[in-house]
Amino acid sequence: MSGLVKAELRKLFTTRLWWIMLLVMLLLAALRLGFLIAFAGVEQNGAALPARDSAQWAETAWSAGAAGGIFAMILGVVLVTSEYRYQTITGTFLATPRRNRVIVAKLVTGLLVGALFSLAVLVFQAVTVIPAVTLSGGEFSLSASRIPQISLGILMTLALYAVFGIGLGALVRNQIAGIIGAIVWAYVIENIFIGIPALQSVGKWLPGGAAQALLSIDLDVAGLGAPEWLPAWAGALVLIGYGLLFAAVATATTVRRDIT
């Protein structure tokens, strides 16, 4: 099994997509952090971001990396769909005819790569947020704030979003459809259900809502009232539940399908 995971990791790291995704993810995180640094303490529409020297600002800024879930999901999609796109799936199944083993290896690879991406974004946050807080005269403390919990939330979110991507990729098989599906899901559908207060009772049960629950940032940035997420532990369970669901989808759609 470890050989298969190693083979999957090699598939990813011998092509260029992974570092493009990593770069874009970090750029996006930089953009968010830049916004949070610039507008800290500024009042808008009656709501205000906390000031840079507050623990609340540090927590908000520290959660920026959770937005990287979409990139982990796209990598997950590509981990499956590129095999169909370039027909390397034939060689993969010739080397490992027990297909469920291939799927398990891909899922493990997705978790690992998602975790690696989260580590990258956490390091990036550390070198931007900590100076931003301390230079503003605040004190950055790991123990007094929810930073560890948020970090864990980001780790789980990115790792499991990669798994969602693998399930989606196995379901649609078409690379473009898979990537567009992931983007539409993460940026449009989830944002509608999470952003509109009336829909949040549904939205909190979606993967994006569950990921928010892990971060437990109940900040009223948009001035629409602070959303009510699930408790963090419930969010984790929901997210893992979706992970299992997508893993089951990936297996069910792959194991018996004719490869022609």
Burial 181-216, CB ≥16 within 10 A → b, else e: bbeebbeeebeebbeeeeebeebbbbbbbbbbbbbb
Stretch that binds another protein, among 11-19, 39-47, 204-212, 218-226 (CB under 8 A): 11-19
Q: Which residue has the tokens 């503003």?
A: 136
CB of 254 to another protein, least distance (A): 12
CB of 86 to another protein, least distance (A): 5
Q: Which of 6, 139, 144, 180 binds another protein (CB under 8 A)?
A: 6
What are the C-alpha distances in Å from 238 to residues 91, 95, 172, 190, 205? 35, 35, 23, 15, 7
Alpha carbon distance 99, 111 (integer Å)? 19
Q: Which of 14, 127, 143, 198 binds another protein (CB under 8 A)?
A: 14
CB 255 within 8 A of CB 99: yes
What are the C-alpha distances in Å from 167 to residues 80, 111, 157, 162, 220? 9, 13, 15, 9, 33
CB of 14 to another protein, least distance (A): 4
Q: Which of 60, 81, 82, 157 binds another protein (CB under 8 A)?
A: 82
Site string for another protein, 84-123 (x = CB under 8 A): --xxx-xxxxxxxxx-------------------------
CB 133 within 8 A of CB 58: yes
| C-alpha of 49 from chain center | 24
CB 209 within 8 A of CB 200: yes
Q: Which of 7, 28, 108, 115 binds another protein (CB under 8 A)?
A: 7
Q: Which of 43, 127, 198, 258 binds another protein (CB under 8 A)?
A: 258
CB of 130 to another protein, least distance (A): 37
Which of 102, 230 has the CB closer to another protein? 102
Tell me how many degrees the CA angle 107-112-118 measures, rounded to the nearest 5: 125
Alpha carbon distance 242, 160 (integer Å)? 8
Using CB under 8 A as the binding rule, whether residue 256 contacts another protein is answered as yes
Site string for another protein, 159-198 (x = CB under 8 A): ----------------------------------------
CB of 3 to another protein, least distance (A): 5
Q: Which of 10, 20, 187, 248 binds another protein (CB under 8 A)?
A: 10
CB of 90 to another protein, least distance (A): 5
Alpha carbon distance 112, 126 (integer Å)? 21
Q: Which residue ranges make up the site for another protein (CB under 8 A)?
A: 3-4, 6-7, 10-11, 14-16, 82, 86-88, 90-98, 256, 258-260
